[in-house]
Structure 1
Amino acid sequence: MTSTRTRPHPGGLATLSGRSVARIGYGAMQLRAEGPDDEPVAVLRRAVELGVDHLDTAQFYGDGLVNRRIHTALAPYPEHLVLVSKVGATPAPGEEVPLRLAQRPEDLRAQVDDNLRSLGTDRIDVVNLRRADAAPGLVAEGDQVVDLDDQLATMVDLRDAGKIGAIGLSHVSADQLRHALPVGIVCVQNAYSLVDRSSEAVLDLCREHDIAWVPYFPLGGGWPGQRQVTELPAVVDTAARLGVTPAQVGLAWLLAHAPQTLLIPGTRSVGHLEENLAAGDLALDAETMATLGP
């Protein structure tokens, strides 16, 4: 096995659930499209070759298709690979938004079991609880309005049973994160980028408690009407001056903005994967950071 010292670490190293991981990982959501497995499998294997050791997925990505592709590509899983999944929704094929919320404790347990089966493992290193209290995104109604404490108790039970290694949160407020701290939260996934800094207070709390910060939609454009980071004039100008892509500038800003940031950009292309990982080599000086955003 390749040792930690000799493996590449895109973006350097940070900590996730007590383990050292490269600061740029891989988010597998874009591998959910139907079709041959060859391209998704190639992307996953190349990611690990290039030092990715933090892989983010979910059973509701393609109704288990992404997890099965991960198993095909990487099982038996390398010991250094940290597998992260999330719960809180299930697939709804054919609907305008192909997801439905599944927030109840029994739903969370079933989703963890589904993830274990499709990934072909008996333990998932980290599972993120995705809350649905506020837009954007699906908002809980009726029996899907579940008390956070009930969900946390379920996640603790799953951790105690050895089915998950650690608990993360997603789409949460600073108050919710603060409330959940006693159970031991190892990471937070919220939308965050140069065009969406609405979770700054959550990031501040992660800084204070040394919790890994894993922004999704790191280049914006995830919500209807939201701008893309790659369209911002300051980003475009910086990319031209440095001879890199605007996407690399947007990712490098996130890495420089907070040391506990772990990125999980996704792609179906090996070439684009390599570009994303190369953003870890891009150092932005103080003047550039100030120009882009403090």
Structure 2
Amino acid sequence: MSNGSTFPPHRRLRGVLLAVLAAVVAAGVGGWLVWRASGGDGGPAHGAGPPAASRSPGGAGDHGAGGHPPDGKDSPAPGTAHGSLKGKVVLLDPGHNPHNRDHGREIARQVDIGNARKECDTTGTSTDDGYAEASFTLDVARRARTLLQREGARVVFTQDGDRRYGPCVDERAARGNEAHADAALSVHADGSAPGNRGFHVILPARVTAGPADNAAIVAPSRQLGERLAGRFLAVTGSAPSNYLGHGTGLDVRSDLGGLNLSTVPKVFIECGNMRDPKDAAQLTDAHWRQKAARGITEGITQFLTHR
């Protein structure tokens, strides 16, 4: 009989090696789970493919046509932290103006957008029951302002329902340029045909003509748009547009003064189609609009903290 273990030496060694291997595997799995819970590499929850250059049908004015619990306590986007936007400037441009309808002659005035001339502004669209796009954009922009300020950003508005009309599209671009905004976003809702559903983000095409020279901001604007589309999809649960962008939720245009004349990274978001009954039910729901504001905030935050 042996004075030590009853197992031969080679079996004792194999047991030790198996125990060490099990510990290494457990540690690796645990580390991976922590990495995933923190948002991985901080990238968008949903990758957006390359945008398709297309024109939104049936649009209005200067724009043309889930992952989180609803509302509740707003939390930072994955890979970010509260206060992460301290020192950043964000320009929010609520599309149109509730008073534009009373100033038809003023908003019809033509302005230079670089490669063309367009109306100063338009009235925007509305749902079938009369909920105006201008009211929607102000509400969502104000909600997003509150969330962005909570993250430490200085938020600049082009208008806050405090103007007789407008401002014109060239002035909207100038406001972001003058503020040296780190990111700029124009908030809209589309006015396309019923059955056309979903959101899309409009990216600037390169325009260097007349007073327009946005060449330097095309690439960062694309990055902003991709982050925004990913987080808007994750937070609201809304699908990307089914009528343009080939499922990416991204569109590229060269006919928008707000993008042509911008010298800071800027995109438009069409949060849904007001002329479609199913989209309209979301757009008129304050609960959903809060989610839209959170998606916007998270997209901007990820862009500004992961450039």
What TM-score comes out, normalization by structure 2 length? 0.30
Greater RCO structure (CA 8 Å; 6+ sep): 2
The structure with more radius of gyration:
2
TM normalised by structure 1 equals 0.31
